[in-house]
A = this chain, B = another copy of it.
Amino acid sequence: MADRIHTGRRKGGSDTRALIEAAARRQFAELGYDRASLRQIAQEAGVDPSLVSHFFGNKQQLFLRVVQLPFAPSEAVARITAGAPEQAGLRLARFVVGLLEREQTRLLIISVLRAALSEPEAAGLLRNVLIGQVLIPIAEHLAAGDAALRASLVMSQVGGLILARYIMALEPLVARTPAEVITMLAPTFQRYLAGDLTLEPVG
């Protein structure tokens, strides 16, 4: 074990870092932010806990390191805003469901959402990156006004989808294909992004 750590550090620590990151990503996803610990992450990675602190600092810093977005926000915005404005909701639904159907990005996203329920820093990550750098620019591009409100509404349905299909695994949703889920969500996203939100329903 000591030899393994030593070898890792001789090579600049990149193997060791990768082992720690993989263990951290898995444990944050499975246990949630609160229950994951540097000690257990170090154990899974086969390294001494002090090495985790040496490379990554505290738990919060390790968490924010491994949850770096698996896409460039500006590319996501470009992809979702390219094409007919009335199909932006559909493109967004495809993008979101696409991320959630790939195991590695799904685990990351679930970690952030779980952490955001108790950790202001993780909630800030969602607010600054997903809302601030992706959803608000998309809403601004569509120019229907109230971009921050629209982004928050989209965020609410994205969060609810993660809860219902990917965490609680509600059977009727799990039984549907990704394409069906995209079809069901696209009109919701489209209305939140560019529809009339102030229309007073009769009754």
Contact = CB atoms under 8 A, between A and B. Distances in A.
A98 interface: no
A170 B155 contact: yes
Contact of A131 (B35, B170, B199): B170
Nearest to A151: B172
Nearest to A175: B149
Given A117-B163, A163-B117, A184 B197 contact: yes
- Tell me how many chains of this kind the complex includes: 2
A21 B41 CA distance: 37
Contacts of A127: 168, 170
A151 B199 CA distance: 24
A91 B203 CA distance: 9
Given A90-B201, A203-B84, A164 B168 contact: no
The 8 A-B residue pairs with the shortest CB-CB distance in the complex, in nearest-first order? A160-B160, A156-B164, A156-B160, A87-B203, A149-B172, A148-B172, A152-B170, A159-B163
